[in-house]
Amino acid sequence: MASRRISVVTAGLSQPSSSRLLADRLADATVARLRLDQIDVAVDVFELRDIATEVTNNLLTGFPSPALGRVIDTVTTADGLIVVSPIFTSSYSGLFKSFVDLLEPQSLSGMPVLMGATGGTPRHSLALEYSMRPLFTYLHAIVVPTAVFAATADWGTEADVANTLPARIERAGAELAELVSVSTRSPSPVDPLALTTSFTDLLGEHTPRSK
Ligand SMILES: Cc1cc2nc3c(=O)[nH]c(=O)nc-3n(C[C@H](O)[C@H](O)[C@H](O)COP(=O)(O)O)c2cc1C
C-alpha cells in the first residue's frame, strides 16, 4: 500500500480555534479521498500558537529552536500541506506570515498546498485569493484551485442546504488528494551554503564579552 505524509499548519489564536476546526475538516476530507485510492496517510498538525515564542526568537536570532526546527523539517518534507489562518485586518495573520518567513524560499517548491481561512465576515472571503495565494505562488508551491473560507455564520448552519461549506471542504480535499497521490516530492535539497554552525562557535575566542 502506498503511503503519503500531510502536514497541517494552523494559525488560530483562540481556544477552541475555528481555524483549527477548519484545518481538521480539510485534513479529514483529504485523507478520506486518499484512502479511497488505497493510499495510507499520516497527518501532522501544528498549531502555531504553541510555538509562537519560538517563531519570534527565530526571527530575532536567525536560528530555530530544536522543536521549531523539527516542525519546519516536517512541514517542508511532507507530500502535501494544508494551511489555515484567521483573517486579521483583511489578510492572513502576522503569526502565520512570520512562520512562512522562516522557511527557505525553495523549500515549498512543488508542494501541493490547500489554503483555508476563517473570519468574522464573509465579505473578506477573497482575502485568500488576494493575499495568501500570491504568497504561495511566490514560493512556487502548487496551490489547489479551491480555497476554503469559513465565516462565523458558516459554522452551526452546516445542516442548512444553503450552506456550501461542507461541499467546498469536500471539493478542496479531493483536489489536494489528487495532487498528493501523484506527488513525487523529494526532501528539500540541502543548501551547501547554509550556516550549520552557530555564530558563537564560529567566533570562538573572538566572541565579544559583555562589560
Ligand atoms: C485583530 C483582529 C482582526 C480581525 N480582522 C478581521 C477581518 O479583517 N476580517 C474578518 O473577517 N475577521 C476578522 N477578525 C475575526 C477573526 O478572523 C475570526 O474571529 C477568526 O475566525 C478567529 O480564528 P480562531 O478562532 O482560529 O482564532 C479579526 C479578529 C481579530 C482579533
Residue 120 CB less than 6 A away from ligand 1 = yes
| Cβ 91 vs Cβ 47: under 8 Å | no
Residue 172 CB contacts under 8 Å (≥ 6 apart), including other chains: 26, 29, 114, 116, 144, 146, 147, 148
pLDDT value of position 183 = 86
DSSP 206: G
Ligand 1 pocket: which of 9, 20, 92, 118 to mutate (most atoms within 8 A of CB) = 118
Residue 155 CB less than 6 A away from ligand 1 = no
Look at residues 111, 91, 104, 105 and name the one whose alpha carbon lies nearest to residue 7. 111
pTM (whole model) above 0.75: yes
Atom of ligand 1 nearest to the CA of 118: 21
Per-chain mean pLDDT for the chain: 91
pLDDT value of position 207 = 57
Residue 19 CB less than 6 A away from ligand 1 = yes
Residue 18 CB less than 6 A away from ligand 1 = yes
Atom of ligand 1 nearest to the CA of 122: 11
Residue 97 CB contacts under 8 Å (≥ 6 apart), including other chains: 135
Place domain 2-205 in its CATH homologous superfamily.
Answer: Flavodoxin domain (3.40.50.360)
Residue 10 CB less than 6 A away from ligand 1 = no
Rounded Cα–Cα distance for residues 136 and 114 (Å): 10
Residue 49 CB less than 6 A away from ligand 1 = no
Look at residues 89, 143, 150 and name the one whose alpha carbon lies nearest to residue 125. 150
The residues of the chain scoring below 50 in pLDDT are 188-191, 211
pLDDT value of position 145 = 98
* Domain map (residue ranges) of the chain: 2-205
pLDDT value of position 87 = 98
Cα 4 to its chain centre, rounded Å, is: 16
